Chains A and B, each alone.
Chain A
Amino acid sequence: MQRIGVFVCHCGSNIAATVDVKAVAEAAKHESGVVFSADYQYMCSESGQDLIKDMIKEHKLTGIVVCSCSPRMHENTFCKAAAAGGLNPYMVEIANIREQCSWIHKDMPSATAKAIVLVRSAIAKVTLNAPLTAGTSPVTKRALVIGGGIAGIQTALDIADAGFEVDIVEKEPTIGGKMAQIDKTFPTLDCAACILTPKMVEAAQNDKIRIFSYSEVSAVKGFVGNFTVTIKRKARYVKEDLCTGCGLCTEKCPQKKVPNEFNLGLDNRRAIYIPFAQAIPKIATIDPDYCTMLKSGKCGVCSKVCSAGAIDYQAKDEFIDVNYGAIVAATGFNPIKVDKYDEFAYAQSPDVVTSLEYERLMNAAGPTGGTLLRPSDRTHPHTIVFVQCVGSRESEDSTKCGKSYCSKICCMYTAKHAMLTREKYPDTDVYVFYIDVRTPGKSFDEFYRRAVEQYGVHYIKGMVGKVTPEGGKLKVQASDLIAGKQLHIDADMVVLAAAIEPDKTARPLATLLTASMDTNDFFTEAHPKLRPVESPTAGVFLSGACQGPKDIPETVAQAGAAASKVIGLLAKDHLVCNPCVANANEMLCSGCSQCEKVCPYGAITYSYKEFRMPDRTTKLRLVASVNAAVCQGCGACTVTCPSGAMDLKGFSNKQIMAEVDAICK
């Protein structure tokens, strides 16, 4: 039998003015199990807390009810006071007689009557409370960053800086990501490679960082603090430890007709290649789809020219298991495919390019060596039309591949492109067709205004309706909504600001991580305002554009934020778990697995266990078990379970039913 103490707070006049606190304390005395009941001026005061501590000792209380303000205010205070008095902190219940009683009811008899019901309900609940102890689980002090773009690199560097080991898994042969393909960055116009490559080198040289390039995550097990990740190291056919990155093989390889993905197919590379000069790791990779040796067994040139003997045609995919305490998703973005927009003639004319392709055409390391030339005839374009919002901001039921969201970065990089074009080639006419120009960022609007005012870029409010390749030109038909005219421009090039979307690998990765995604395949954050870099799945963090469209400064900021969250986690030796978690009664569980399906955290697993039957035989049965370190205590499983095998500590079926009974009495 519990020995319950009830403490009724006056809260000055906040409660006492409308609730007869003495009557409430007196009524509580008559409830079964109550051995002490009193009212007090301010329960949250030092002396109020002392009263709790003293009465626990004096009356050997096993549970207490504090009738006061909302538990959201002072539950913690009273739990701590109870703990100081030698009581388990989970043996405390709060009856909210201020926010949910005295403050909303004007008339004393009815407010007092309600307060008594609320107290009864709390007494009924605390009678069924059980002491709970928060469990702990150890933390593996190593983090995994999935994706080696600027987001992943920055996160890894920051984590490593704090002294923790961190691995980067990158699916491409080199880290660097999208930023490596970009020429200049807005709004400062510094060279992307100049600021990115030092970071890549830093990551490569940091002894806390391991880079698994040309690798993918193929399985994730475990939970926060204790993940086991299987990394698939794709066969590179080049021994990483032997290759010196001299690049001789990439020059001698006879297979020259491989579209170069780094330059978005604007030129070709060999079947054995190093993506770009500053690649990290600088190791050659054989493309098995094109290598004649791998396909037909005839060639072997690279092997012959390699003095280091690094070529290994027999290589196989390798799988390694590594333990991590935290995982950061930094899978980034890609521009959408724009082939479906027939009106822009992207598929019809090579001179219609996406912005990222334009970026490569402007880049000194790009296919044209930095000279802006039309892809079709390698001549200098004189009229360039930029089209904004291609595939962004489309209605949800759009039949094309458009996105309903604003891609955020296009306004700025288009301004950058227009500006750089005008700067390098003042003889070109540059038109930008926009719906809205969105420049909320530090020095962003000034940058856009510079493009218009200083560089004379023609910004036209309106959309391009049609692009027709005709006689070596691109006939652009567009509307100028402000002039109320339809424009016809003979352009040499058209640049489409294609919407961006999450990388295709993000969705399967989210499934592996049991992290949730929105309908656009962006990772969902744990809270859109207050926990923007955490996924709802404990131990999984988000960095960069995989969470939503972002520019570089934002990505770097978020990468640092994610890193700090990871550091905060890894700095702990043990994680203290919320003890109010679900637990499965194995005697009742019938293994139907319904609960597993509703758990948003993947906290429920199934295993066969041996049970002794009443007739003394044994039986193997499938039963659920809850990982207390992962469970967040929502209770979805408890209702899904038809046999009541699943219950929630602190909010058990019996406790809630006792509250219902007390209220309806």
Chain B
Amino acid sequence: MPSLISPAERDYILKGIECNIRADGRQRPDYREVTLETGVVSQTSGSARVRIAGGTDVLVSVKAEIGPVLVDPETGDGADKGQIICSVECAPSASQQFEGRGADELNNELTQMMSRFLSHSGPAASSFLSTTSSSSSSSTAASTTAKTTSGAGGINLSKLCIIPGQQCWILYVDALVLDYGGNLMDAIFMGTRAAIYDTRIPKTEVQDLGDGQFEFEVLDDAEDTEEVAGREDMPLCVTLNKIGARHIVDASPLEELCTEAKLVVAVNRSGELCGLQKGHEGGIEPSLLLEMIQSGKTMGQSLIKQLDASIKKEAESDLAKRQRGEPVHKLGFFAQ
């Protein structure tokens, strides 16, 4: 990913966007071609891989594991809720910038943004619910995981609870950026939504041992699994980059270098805004800000429809293949 841009190149991009033509021929509100595939990593409860034509390549995996319930000592809520713990990691192979510790800051920013949009416990979370670095991380390499309990991000967390107050399902959402081609956040969110759609959680049977003690047993036959409840109204995010007086969508690395201000708008199926975050070091007029929020919302909703359609299509074609007994061959890295 280039880190410097010459003034001539910047001016070329700026003028292009003014008259609504971008370097690769797209208009301002056009997305690049996105390829998506679910179930690429077999040892996970659900996984998906998103590739944007410009080179961005993200692998998202969801693993459901059983863990203790996180209870808020004061209000006591959270006892009947599962958890989502998300973390983003940029592989050093993704770009020259991520050598050594270069990727730490970006990892942290993406992780925090992801956990804020997937739940409402963002910066306004009261202190005890704030993000805590997981215990295993050594102090220097701050491992960037963010605990979230309340599921304003759409996922119904109380369904994830096994024994209220004791055990629950913890969904570890890990995004791995394999290649950097601009517009990471959108790719990560598309991958997360597809991976959560692909996730199958084994059913659990809870036996009451009579003296208030409960015991549960996980049925591990592959067919008898449930899907994640409330997965349809998970948010999807659209990154709008303000260049000059206009704003564009799905910016390539070069366009990202000429961006004065970027606005990440997370919106869910019913049009509610689940998150808003500005980036880069420029200002936006309030009027333009509201206009960008509006266009981000509409674009996000149409993106969700197209994404759901392609996920359903792929699920149906997999099902048809399984019925015909053919092995479901995942293209993975061999898709050209």
A, B assembled together: no
